[in-house]
Amino acid sequence: MTDSYQAALARSAAIEQRLEDEPASLRMLTGDRPTGALHIGHYFGSIKNRVKLQQSGAEIWQLIADYQVITDRDMLGDIQGSVRSLTIDNIAAGLDPDRATIFTHSAVPALNQLMLPFLSLVSVAELQRNPTVKEEAKSAGITSIGGLLLTYPVHQAADILFCKANVVPVGRDQLPHLEQTRVVARRFNERYGATFPEPDALLSEATLILGLDGTKMSKSKGNVIELRMTADETAKKLRGAKTDSDRLITYDPAARPEVANLLLLISLCEGVAPEQVADEIGDGGGGVLKKRLTEAINTELAPLRARRIELEQDPTYVSDILRSGNERANEVAEVTLGEVRERMGMVYT
Ligand code: ATP
Ligand code: MG
C-alpha cells in the first residue's frame, strides 16, 4: 500500500467521523461520465456513500460530466439517453432531487471558466505523470493523448471547487485526480489568498470492484453488471465471470483477486464477512459462489430496479430536475468565479 493511499484512507476515516459529529459542515461533490449505464462498481464504490452523506445532512452536488465523455473517444454517442439514464440511476439509488443538486457541467459556463486560472497552476510534467490518465488512455486504446484527456484532472478540480466541496465519495481510480484538485486549491490559495477548501475523498469498503473479466469494472469496457439489468440478465452475466480452477473457495485478495472480488460483493450485499462467506461455500466451487452472488445482488438491487422502471415512465421528470439543477449550479459558479476574479485583481468596473 503506497503512502499516499494510506494518507487518503486516513483522511477518509476522518471524514467518516465528521459525518457523525458535524455532518452539516460537509459539502459533497461527485460525478459520473455519461458514457453508459451505471454498474455495481459505482454502486458500492461511490453511490452508497453519496446516499449516506445525503441522509446525514451534508450538502449534495451531483455532476453529470458530459464534456469528459470526449476525453477518451471522438463521439458523444447517445448523450441525451446516457444523461437521462445516469440521472435515473442516481435517483433510483436514493439521491433525492429535492436535496441534491444534479447538473451537467456543459450547462455551467462559469464552472468551465475556472479551468483557465487553474491550468496556470499545474505543469505539463505533473499532468503527464497522472496514473489514472495513463490507464484510461490505455484502456481506450489511445496512443496519442489529447489535450482534454491530459487536462481532465484540472477540469475535475473546477468541477469540485466551483461549489467549494470538501468531500468527494469516489473509487480508488479517482485518487490521483483528487490529489490534483488538492494541489490546485493549495496553490491558488497560496498565490491569491484563502479561497478554496482542500477536499478529501470518502472511500468505501469497495474502492475497486473488478469486472467480469477480472479488470476494473468500467462502463466503457463491457465487463459490467449494470444496475438496470433484470434478474435474469444478471444471472447470465455472472455465469460468465472469471474465477480460477481451485474448487475450494477462500478469501485471498492478493493470490485470488477474481474470487475475492465475488466474495466481497456477496459480503457487501449480505453484510457478512467475506471470509465467512468463503467458509460457507467451502469446496462448492465457482458455480455455488456465482449462484449465491446472483441472489445477493438481485435482492440488493430489487427496490432500485423497481423504482427505476417507475421513473422511466415520466418523460419530463429528468429534464425538470436538470433544468433546476443547472440553474442552481450556475448561480453558485457565478459567485465563485466573481470571487476568483476579485482575488486575482481582475475586476475593472
Ligand atoms: P468510464 O469507463 O466511462 O470511465 P467508469 O465505469 O470508470 O466509466 P466513471 O463515470 O469514470 O465510471 O466513475 C464514476 C465514479 O464511480 C468514480 O467515483 C469512480 O471512482 C467510481 N467507480 C467507477 N468504477 C468503479 C469500480 N470498478 N469500483 C469502485 N468505484 C468505481
Ligand atoms: Mg472512469
Task: Tell me the pLDDT band of 290, cut-offs 50, 70 and 90.
Answer: very high
Q: Which of 9, 4, 3, 16 is nearest to 207 (CA)?
A: 9
Task: Tell me the pLDDT band of 12, cut-offs 50, 70 and 90.
Answer: very high
What is the atom index within ligand 1 of the atom nearest the CA of 174? 20
Q: What is the pLDDT of residues 54-102, one digit of tens each?
A: 999 999 999 999 999 999 999 999 999 999 999 999 999 999 999 999 9
Take residue 203 and report the three cell numbers written for it: 472511500
Take residue 274 and report the three cell numbers written for it: 467475506
CB atoms within 10 A of CB 7: 12
pLDDT of residue 326: 98
How far apart CA 185 and CA 188 sit, in angstroms, is 5
DSSP 296-327: HHHHHHHHHHHHHHHHHT-TTHHHHHHHHHHH
Ligand 1 pocket, 209 CB below 6 A?
A: yes
Query: Residue 243: which residues within 8 A CB-CB, separation 6 or more?
Result: 258, 259, 262, 286, 289, 290
What SS3 string covers 181-224? Answer: HHHHHHHHHHHHCCCCCCCEEECCCCCCCECCCCCECCHHHCCC
pLDDT of residue 249: 97
pLDDT value at 247 more than 90: yes
What is the atom index within ligand 1 of the atom nearest the CA of 30? 18
Ligand 1 pocket, 325 CB below 6 A?
A: no
Phi/psi-derived region of residue 37, left when phi > 0, alpha when psi is between -120 and 50, beta in every other case? beta
What is the atom index within ligand 1 of the atom nearest the CA of 207? 29
| Residue 35 DSSP code | S
Task: With beta carbons less than 8 A apart as the criterion, state whether 217 and 40 touch.
Answer: yes
What is the atom index within ligand 1 of the atom nearest the CA of 171? 20
> How many Å lie between the centroid of ligand 2 and the Cα of residue 305?
23
Q: What is the pLDDT of residues 178-208, one digit of tens each?
A: 999 999 999 999 999 999 999 999 998 888 9
CA 331 vs. chain centroid, Å, equals 24
Take residue 169 and report the three cell numbers written for it: 465519495
How far apart CA 328 and CA 106 sit, in angstroms, is 14
How far apart CA 241 and CA 290 sit, in angstroms, is 8
> How many Å lie between the centroid of ligand 2 and the Cα of residue 218?
6
How far apart CA 153 and CA 123 sit, in angstroms, is 12
> How many Å lie between the centroid of ligand 1 and the Cα of residue 170?
8
pLDDT of residue 223: 95
Q: Which of 37, 119, 68 is nearest to 301 (CA)?
A: 37
CB atoms within 10 A of CB 67: 16
pLDDT of residue 201: 93
Distances in Å between the Cα of 303 and the Cα atoms of 67, 86, 93 are 31, 17, 9
Task: With beta carbons less than 8 A apart as the criterion, state whether 18 and 26 touch.
Answer: yes
pLDDT of residue 124: 96
pLDDT value at 172 more than 90: no
Query: Residue 31: which residues within 8 A CB-CB, separation 6 or more?
Result: 62, 63, 64, 65, 105, 156, 159
CB atoms within 10 A of CB 88: 24
**Range with the poorest average pLDDT among 104-113, 118-127, 134-143:** 134-143
pLDDT of residue 136: 87
Ligand 1 pocket, 267 CB below 6 A?
A: no
How far apart CA 60 and CA 164 sit, in angstroms, is 11
